[in-house]
Amino acid sequence: MKLTIKNISKNYGKKQALKGVSFEMENGVYGLLGPNGAGKSTLIRILVGVMGASGGEVFMNGINRKSCDREYRRALGYLPQSLDFYPEFSGLDYLRFVAVLKGLKEDDAEKKIKTLVERVGLANDLHRKCINYSGGMKRRLGIAQALLNDPEILILDEPTAGLDPHERIRFRNLVSIFSRDRTVLLSTHIVSDIDSIAKKTIMIKGGKVGRMESTQSFVDAIAGKVWNVKMTVDELVSYQDSHIISNVLPIGDRMEVRVVSDEKPSLNAISVPPTLEDAYLHEFQFEGGISK
Protein backbone atom coordinates (compact mmCIF):
# COMPACT_ATOMS: atom_id res chain seq x y z
CA MET A 1 0.00 0.00 0.00
CA LYS A 2 1.43 3.34 -1.02
CA LEU A 3 -0.12 6.66 0.03
CA THR A 4 1.10 9.78 -1.73
CA ILE A 5 0.31 13.22 -0.35
CA LYS A 6 0.98 15.84 -2.96
CA ASN A 7 1.12 19.56 -2.35
CA ILE A 8 -1.76 19.70 0.14
CA SER A 9 -2.72 23.18 1.31
CA LYS A 10 -5.47 24.38 3.62
CA ASN A 11 -6.69 27.88 4.37
CA TYR A 12 -9.00 28.77 7.24
CA GLY A 13 -10.05 32.20 6.00
CA LYS A 14 -6.79 34.15 5.91
CA LYS A 15 -4.96 31.58 8.05
CA GLN A 16 -2.84 29.26 5.93
CA ALA A 17 -2.71 26.12 8.07
CA LEU A 18 -1.02 23.87 5.48
CA LYS A 19 1.38 25.19 2.84
CA GLY A 20 1.98 22.57 0.16
CA VAL A 21 2.58 19.43 2.21
CA SER A 22 4.03 16.50 0.23
CA PHE A 23 5.31 13.09 1.31
CA GLU A 24 4.85 9.40 0.59
CA MET A 25 4.21 6.45 2.90
CA GLU A 26 4.47 2.70 2.52
CA ASN A 27 4.19 -0.08 5.14
CA GLY A 28 5.39 0.74 8.65
CA VAL A 29 4.89 3.48 11.22
CA TYR A 30 5.38 7.10 10.19
CA GLY A 31 5.57 9.62 13.00
CA LEU A 32 4.06 13.03 12.28
CA LEU A 33 5.85 15.20 14.79
CA GLY A 34 5.31 18.89 15.34
CA PRO A 35 4.52 21.49 17.99
CA ASN A 36 1.01 22.75 18.82
CA GLY A 37 -0.56 24.50 15.84
CA ALA A 38 1.86 22.97 13.30
CA GLY A 39 -1.01 21.62 11.18
CA LYS A 40 -1.02 17.94 12.18
CA SER A 41 -4.76 17.64 12.91
CA THR A 42 -5.66 19.63 9.81
CA LEU A 43 -3.61 17.27 7.64
CA ILE A 44 -5.14 14.23 9.31
CA ARG A 45 -8.69 15.53 8.90
CA ILE A 46 -8.01 16.00 5.20
CA LEU A 47 -6.47 12.51 4.87
CA VAL A 48 -9.43 10.82 6.53
CA GLY A 49 -11.87 12.86 4.44
CA VAL A 50 -13.74 14.78 7.15
CA MET A 51 -12.43 18.04 5.69
CA GLY A 52 -11.59 19.15 2.18
CA ALA A 53 -8.19 20.57 1.19
CA SER A 54 -7.85 24.01 -0.39
CA GLY A 55 -5.40 22.50 -2.87
CA GLY A 56 -3.38 19.36 -3.63
CA GLU A 57 -4.19 15.68 -4.05
CA VAL A 58 -3.96 12.34 -2.26
CA PHE A 59 -3.14 9.16 -4.19
CA MET A 60 -3.60 5.55 -3.09
CA ASN A 61 -1.30 3.21 -5.00
CA GLY A 62 -0.94 5.91 -7.64
CA ILE A 63 -4.71 6.44 -8.10
CA ASN A 64 -6.23 9.78 -7.16
CA ARG A 65 -8.40 9.13 -4.09
CA LYS A 66 -11.23 11.09 -5.73
CA SER A 67 -11.40 8.32 -8.33
CA CYS A 68 -11.38 5.52 -5.74
CA ASP A 69 -13.22 7.08 -2.79
CA ARG A 70 -15.03 3.88 -1.82
CA GLU A 71 -11.86 1.75 -1.87
CA TYR A 72 -9.96 4.49 -0.05
CA ARG A 73 -12.52 4.64 2.76
CA ARG A 74 -12.52 0.86 2.97
CA ALA A 75 -8.75 0.85 3.31
CA LEU A 76 -8.75 3.45 6.08
CA GLY A 77 -8.89 3.11 9.87
CA TYR A 78 -8.96 6.25 11.99
CA LEU A 79 -8.55 6.96 15.66
CA PRO A 80 -9.43 10.63 16.30
CA GLN A 81 -8.01 12.71 19.14
CA SER A 82 -11.15 12.15 21.20
CA LEU A 83 -13.85 9.52 20.94
CA ASP A 84 -17.41 10.05 22.15
CA PHE A 85 -19.41 7.18 23.57
CA TYR A 86 -23.13 6.83 24.15
CA PRO A 87 -23.55 6.60 27.95
CA GLU A 88 -25.48 3.32 27.80
CA PHE A 89 -23.06 1.53 25.46
CA SER A 90 -20.84 -1.27 26.70
CA GLY A 91 -17.54 -1.82 24.90
CA LEU A 92 -19.23 -4.62 22.95
CA ASP A 93 -22.21 -2.41 21.97
CA TYR A 94 -19.81 0.24 20.76
CA LEU A 95 -17.79 -2.14 18.59
CA ARG A 96 -20.98 -3.68 17.14
CA PHE A 97 -22.26 -0.16 16.40
CA VAL A 98 -19.04 0.80 14.56
CA ALA A 99 -19.10 -2.53 12.71
CA VAL A 100 -22.58 -1.68 11.37
CA LEU A 101 -21.38 1.80 10.32
CA LYS A 102 -18.46 0.19 8.51
CA GLY A 103 -20.84 -2.20 6.72
CA LEU A 104 -19.44 -5.46 8.18
CA LYS A 105 -21.62 -8.58 7.99
CA GLU A 106 -22.86 -9.68 11.45
CA ASP A 107 -20.95 -13.00 11.53
CA ASP A 108 -17.72 -11.40 10.32
CA ALA A 109 -18.14 -8.56 12.80
CA GLU A 110 -18.54 -10.94 15.77
CA LYS A 111 -15.42 -12.91 14.78
CA LYS A 112 -13.43 -9.75 14.22
CA ILE A 113 -14.54 -8.21 17.53
CA LYS A 114 -13.56 -11.38 19.40
CA THR A 115 -10.06 -11.42 17.90
CA LEU A 116 -9.46 -7.70 18.31
CA VAL A 117 -10.60 -7.38 21.93
CA GLU A 118 -8.22 -10.18 22.87
CA ARG A 119 -5.37 -8.46 21.06
CA VAL A 120 -6.02 -5.10 22.72
CA GLY A 121 -6.58 -6.69 26.14
CA LEU A 122 -10.28 -5.80 26.62
CA ALA A 123 -11.85 -9.26 26.45
CA ASN A 124 -12.78 -9.22 30.16
CA ASP A 125 -14.24 -5.70 30.08
CA LEU A 126 -16.47 -5.92 27.03
CA HIS A 127 -19.73 -5.85 28.98
CA ARG A 128 -18.80 -2.82 31.08
CA LYS A 129 -20.04 0.62 30.03
CA CYS A 130 -17.26 2.16 28.02
CA ILE A 131 -17.75 5.65 29.48
CA ASN A 132 -16.44 4.10 32.72
CA TYR A 133 -13.28 2.75 31.06
CA SER A 134 -9.92 4.27 32.03
CA GLY A 135 -8.20 6.55 29.50
CA GLY A 136 -5.96 3.70 28.37
CA MET A 137 -8.89 1.31 27.91
CA LYS A 138 -10.79 3.92 25.85
CA ARG A 139 -7.73 4.32 23.61
CA ARG A 140 -7.46 0.53 23.23
CA LEU A 141 -11.16 0.36 22.40
CA GLY A 142 -10.45 3.16 19.90
CA ILE A 143 -7.76 1.18 18.16
CA ALA A 144 -10.02 -1.89 18.08
CA GLN A 145 -12.78 0.12 16.32
CA ALA A 146 -10.21 1.56 13.89
CA LEU A 147 -9.08 -1.96 12.99
CA LEU A 148 -12.55 -3.53 12.59
CA ASN A 149 -12.51 -3.22 8.81
CA ASP A 150 -8.92 -4.57 8.60
CA PRO A 151 -7.60 -1.28 7.23
CA GLU A 152 -4.39 -1.09 5.25
CA ILE A 153 -3.87 2.50 6.37
CA LEU A 154 -4.23 3.38 10.03
CA ILE A 155 -4.31 7.03 11.06
CA LEU A 156 -3.87 7.90 14.74
CA ASP A 157 -4.25 11.49 15.95
CA GLU A 158 -2.36 12.07 19.21
CA PRO A 159 -3.37 8.62 20.47
CA THR A 160 -1.47 8.68 23.76
CA ALA A 161 -2.58 12.08 25.11
CA GLY A 162 -3.44 11.69 28.79
CA LEU A 163 -2.16 8.11 29.15
CA ASP A 164 0.10 7.03 32.00
CA PRO A 165 3.53 5.59 31.05
CA HIS A 166 2.38 1.98 31.39
CA GLU A 167 -0.63 2.47 29.07
CA ARG A 168 1.48 4.58 26.71
CA ILE A 169 4.01 1.76 26.31
CA ARG A 170 1.24 -0.82 25.94
CA PHE A 171 -0.41 1.28 23.23
CA ARG A 172 2.91 1.82 21.44
CA ASN A 173 3.60 -1.93 21.41
CA LEU A 174 0.13 -2.58 19.98
CA VAL A 175 0.70 -0.08 17.17
CA SER A 176 4.08 -1.60 16.43
CA ILE A 177 2.59 -5.11 16.14
CA PHE A 178 -0.25 -3.91 13.89
CA SER A 179 2.14 -1.98 11.64
CA ARG A 180 3.88 -5.09 10.31
CA ASP A 181 1.68 -5.21 7.23
CA ARG A 182 0.02 -1.79 7.39
CA THR A 183 0.80 1.85 6.86
CA VAL A 184 0.41 3.75 10.12
CA LEU A 185 0.51 7.54 10.41
CA LEU A 186 0.84 8.55 14.05
CA SER A 187 0.53 12.24 14.83
CA THR A 188 1.98 13.42 18.11
CA HIS A 189 4.07 16.00 19.88
CA ILE A 190 5.33 13.37 22.30
CA VAL A 191 8.69 12.24 20.99
CA SER A 192 8.80 8.95 22.91
CA ASP A 193 5.59 7.80 21.14
CA ILE A 194 7.52 7.33 17.93
CA ASP A 195 11.13 7.20 19.03
CA SER A 196 11.40 3.43 18.97
CA ILE A 197 8.67 2.38 16.51
CA ALA A 198 8.60 4.87 13.60
CA LYS A 199 10.67 3.92 10.60
CA LYS A 200 10.36 7.50 9.37
CA THR A 201 9.62 10.74 11.15
CA ILE A 202 7.91 13.63 9.37
CA MET A 203 8.70 16.93 11.08
CA ILE A 204 5.96 19.49 10.44
CA LYS A 205 6.00 23.14 11.48
CA GLY A 206 4.11 26.21 10.39
CA GLY A 207 2.05 24.10 7.96
CA LYS A 208 5.11 22.80 6.11
CA VAL A 209 6.89 19.48 6.19
CA GLY A 210 10.41 20.46 7.15
CA ARG A 211 12.07 17.09 6.87
CA MET A 212 11.03 13.48 6.45
CA GLU A 213 13.76 11.00 7.16
CA SER A 214 14.36 7.75 8.92
CA THR A 215 14.00 8.35 12.64
CA GLN A 216 17.63 7.31 13.13
CA SER A 217 18.81 9.88 10.55
CA PHE A 218 17.30 12.72 12.60
CA VAL A 219 19.25 11.48 15.58
CA ASP A 220 22.47 10.91 13.60
CA ALA A 221 22.21 14.41 12.08
CA ILE A 222 22.79 16.05 15.44
CA ALA A 223 25.68 13.84 16.54
CA GLY A 224 28.30 16.14 18.04
CA LYS A 225 25.67 18.76 18.92
CA VAL A 226 24.56 17.46 22.31
CA TRP A 227 26.60 18.23 25.41
CA ASN A 228 26.68 17.70 29.14
CA VAL A 229 27.78 20.77 31.08
CA LYS A 230 28.20 20.96 34.86
CA MET A 231 27.25 24.29 36.42
CA THR A 232 25.78 25.92 39.50
CA VAL A 233 22.06 26.77 39.80
CA ASP A 234 22.91 30.49 39.44
CA GLU A 235 24.82 29.83 36.22
CA LEU A 236 21.90 27.74 34.92
CA VAL A 237 19.46 30.63 35.41
CA SER A 238 21.31 32.86 32.95
CA TYR A 239 22.35 29.92 30.72
CA GLN A 240 18.81 28.69 30.00
CA ASP A 241 17.73 31.90 28.22
CA SER A 242 20.40 31.52 25.56
CA HIS A 243 20.66 27.75 25.11
CA ILE A 244 18.46 24.79 24.20
CA ILE A 245 18.34 22.67 27.33
CA SER A 246 16.95 19.15 27.07
CA ASN A 247 17.56 17.96 30.62
CA VAL A 248 18.76 19.08 34.03
CA LEU A 249 20.03 16.63 36.62
CA PRO A 250 21.11 17.77 40.11
CA ILE A 251 24.37 16.08 41.14
CA GLY A 252 25.51 17.12 44.60
CA ASP A 253 25.57 20.91 44.77
CA ARG A 254 25.86 21.28 40.97
CA MET A 255 23.62 20.68 37.97
CA GLU A 256 24.41 18.40 35.06
CA VAL A 257 22.79 20.21 32.14
CA ARG A 258 22.13 18.55 28.77
CA VAL A 259 22.51 21.19 26.06
CA VAL A 260 21.71 21.00 22.33
CA SER A 261 24.12 23.32 20.56
CA ASP A 262 25.88 23.41 17.18
CA GLU A 263 28.99 24.80 18.91
CA LYS A 264 30.67 23.53 22.07
CA PRO A 265 28.73 25.63 24.60
CA SER A 266 31.54 25.96 27.15
CA LEU A 267 35.08 24.78 27.77
CA ASN A 268 34.05 22.04 30.22
CA ALA A 269 31.24 20.67 27.95
CA ILE A 270 31.42 16.95 27.14
CA SER A 271 29.88 15.60 23.93
CA VAL A 272 27.17 12.92 24.54
CA PRO A 273 25.11 10.68 22.19
CA PRO A 274 21.93 12.40 20.90
CA THR A 275 18.32 11.19 21.19
CA LEU A 276 15.25 11.92 19.04
CA GLU A 277 14.10 14.34 21.75
CA ASP A 278 17.32 16.33 21.28
CA ALA A 279 16.73 16.28 17.50
CA TYR A 280 13.17 17.57 18.02
CA LEU A 281 14.43 20.44 20.18
CA HIS A 282 17.09 21.27 17.59
CA GLU A 283 14.50 21.22 14.76
CA PHE A 284 11.94 23.29 16.67
CA GLN A 285 14.29 25.53 18.60
CA PHE A 286 12.30 28.65 17.78
CA GLU A 287 8.97 27.07 18.74
CA GLY A 288 7.70 26.75 22.30
CA GLY A 289 9.57 29.76 23.61
CA ILE A 290 13.11 28.51 23.08
CA SER A 291 15.17 31.33 21.69
CA LYS A 292 18.76 31.06 20.70
Q: Which of 22, 27, 41, 216 binds ligand ATP (CB under 6 A)?
A: 41
Q: Which of 31, 39, 136, 274 binds ligand ATP (CB under 6 A)?
A: 39
Residue 205 in contact with residue 35, Cβ under 8 Å? yes
Stretch that binds ligand ATP, among 9-17, 53-61, 139-147, 245-253 (CB under 6 A): 9-17
Q: Which of 2, 37, 105, 111 binds ligand ATP (CB under 6 A)?
A: 37
Q: CB neighbours (10 Å) of residue 89?
A: 15
- 40 near ligand ATP (CB under 6 A): yes
- 189 near ligand ATP (CB under 6 A): yes
Residues 14-33 that bind ligand ATP (CB under 6 A): 15, 17
* Residue with Cβ nearer ligand ATP (135 or 288): 288
* Residue with Cβ nearer ligand ATP (17 or 255): 17
Q: b or e along 227-266 (b: 16 or more beta carbons within 10 Å of the residue's beta carbon)? A: bebbbeeeebeebeeebbbbeeeeeeeebebbbbbeeebb
Q: Which of 21, 25, 29, 38 binds ligand ATP (CB under 6 A)?
A: 38
- 12 near ligand ATP (CB under 6 A): yes
Binding footprint of ligand ATP on the chain (CB under 6 A): 12, 15, 17, 34, 36-42, 189
